[in-house]
Amino acid sequence: MNELSQLPSSSQPLPISEQLDILRRGVVDLISEEDLKARLETGKPLRVKLGADPTRPDLHLGHAVILRKMRQFQDLGHKVIMLIGDFTAMIGDPSGKSKTRPPVTLEQTRANAQSYLDQCKLILKDDPEVLEVRYNSEWLESMGYADIIKLASRYTVARIMERDDFKKRFESGVSISMHELLYPLTQGYDSVALEADVELGGTDQLFNNLVGRALQRDYDQAPQIVMTLPLLVGLDGTEKMSKSLDNYIGLTDDAHIMFAGLMKVPDALLDNYFTLLTELPHPEIEALLAGHPAAAHERLARLVTAWLHPDADLDAALERYRSVAKGGIPENIPTQTIAAAELNPEGQIAAARLVALTGLEPSNGAARKLIQNRGLKVNGEVYTDPQGSLSLGSEGVVLQKGKDKFVKAVLEG
């Protein structure tokens, strides 16, 4: 799939009205469209900032929503700045949080950042003409106490407390640390340091990004355009996509895992997923939604999986999904050899130990919890004894975690 098929292959720039149509797609807040139009009309490449605090190393399709918008800016000839908040991650963004976040070390944020960048480049053009990678420790780590006081003097406590999450915590008596109050100012100063023309973010970042717009005025810069996109709802249909909620599709998931996850998107969210993760025209999306939901799911799964796995066998992914949905065991699942030394005198192995050895869970304890929660199948049947043992026999056994994670355990030799 050509993810941005509506863009021309020639170097001739699109009319401003068409550029705006592309950039507005899926956007919630655009402050302001008049400013964006005026800057596009100058013909000068814009500097488009996305800040990310790498508190975790892995990305999912929720992150892909904003990365797609960055790619659109790139394909229109603008430079996107992937700003790694290695310094601000140590503070912890309080956006949407009901309590203070635990601190992260600078070393942890930098380790996570490399994984983050590698995954971003699955979507972004890795070309220095249109991609700039920066770390906000470049300017924040060297700031002295006098610099912090000067920055803090540019914004009032009253304006900071207008933030909904701060207001709720204050009114309910939940503590707010001083470093959290400084976070919006610190993030806003990033826009000053980078002289950003546009800042992208999720809707939960609107306040922080507007602080950057205000600070740029104070520093005699043209205020950045603020553009927010919706948070992609997870597969449970209730909350935003999140690894901690286990309702996500990973950006680096295998093709068949990604395809299966997209087939399970709730019907009510199909419009949202099509709009944010594909370039299908709205009339075509409406026609799909008016038809049978199964056909719409398959089209979504094919488009998004082909975007991130251009060489994937989508027909095989569909057949695998159908087989698993019917309770079957797919072909060509991974095999894990188990050493004979792991067997007890009766020639068996503890089920929890086997789950850990095959990599379905990181430890025996996690494996026992999986079994207690009825999350393990052995040869297609739910296995419920966390203290039980299994015989591998001459053919081995097939373990299944959840809907579509399989491994066959066989005895060595």
Q: Walk me through the domains of the chain, giving residue ranges and CATH numbers.
A: 16-229 (3.40.50.620), 255-325 (1.10.240.10), 335-411 (3.10.290.10)
Model confidence at 95: pLDDT above 80:
no
Average pLDDT over residues 384-391: 94
Both tokens of 161, joined, read: 């407390």
Q: How confident is the model over 289-346, as pLDDT tens digits?
A: 999 999 999 999 999 999 999 999 999 999 999 988 887 888 778 899 999 999 999 9
Model confidence at 395: pLDDT above 80:
yes
Both tokens of 103, joined, read: 């601190």
CB 52 within 8 A of CB 116: yes
For residue 340, which amino acid is it? A
The residues with which 80 forms a beta bridge, in sequence order, are 48, 131
For residue 226, which amino acid is it? V
Unique residue bearing structure tokens 């209730």:
238
Best CA proximity match to 62, nearest among 266, 257, 201: 201
What is the separation of C-alpha 246 from the centre of its chain, rounded to a whole number of angstroms? 12
30 pLDDT band, cuts 50/70/90, is very high
Higher pLDDT, 54 or 121: 121
User: CA-CA distance, 204 to 225, in Å (whole number)?
Assistant: 16
User: CA-CA distance, 290 to 308, in Å (whole number)?
Assistant: 27
Is the pTM of the predicted complex or chain greater than 0.75?
yes
User: CA-CA distance, 150 to 143, in Å (whole number)?
Assistant: 11
267 DSSP assignment: G
User: CA-CA distance, 73 to 147, in Å (whole number)?
Assistant: 33
Q: How confident is the model over 46-73, as pLDDT tens digits?
A: 999 999 877 666 789 999 999 999 999 9
Model confidence at 34: pLDDT above 90:
yes
CB 7 within 8 A of CB 34: no
User: CA-CA distance, 406 to 358, in Å (whole number)?
Assistant: 10
pLDDT at 90: 67
5 prior amide bond cis, ω within 30: no
Of 28-37, 236-245, 261-270, the range with the lowest mean pLDDT is: 236-245
Of 90-99, 247-256, 320-329, 400-409, the range with the lowest mean pLDDT is: 90-99
Of 21-35, 64-78, 165-179, 370-384, the range with the lowest mean pLDDT is: 165-179
**Overall residue count recorded for the chain in this entry:** 413
Model confidence at 109: pLDDT above 80:
no
Average pLDDT over residues 134-140: 91
Unique residue bearing structure tokens 């508190």:
55
pLDDT at 73: 97
Binding residues: 243
CB 270 within 8 A of CB 282: no
Average pLDDT over residues 20-33: 95
For residue 409, which amino acid is it? A
Average pLDDT over residues 137-160: 85
pLDDT at 96: 46
Average pLDDT over residues 208-237: 93
Mean of per-residue pLDDT scores for the chain: 87
Model confidence at 2: pLDDT above 50:
no
Model confidence at 244: pLDDT above 70:
yes
What is the separation of C-alpha 79 from the centre of its chain, rounded to a whole number of angstroms? 21
321-to-17, 141, 213, 259, 261 alpha-carbon distances in Å: 42, 49, 47, 8, 9
User: CA-CA distance, 300 to 277, in Å (whole number)?
Assistant: 9
Q: How many CB atoms lie within 10 A of CB 408?
A: 18
Average pLDDT over residues 142-152: 87
Binding residues for ATP: 243
Average pLDDT over residues 353-375: 94
User: CA-CA distance, 166 to 100, in Å (whole number)?
Assistant: 11
Average pLDDT over residues 240-264: 89
Higher pLDDT, 306 or 241: 306
Spell out the alpha helix ranges (H) of 254-313: 255-263, 270-277, 282-290, 293-308
pLDDT at 55: 66
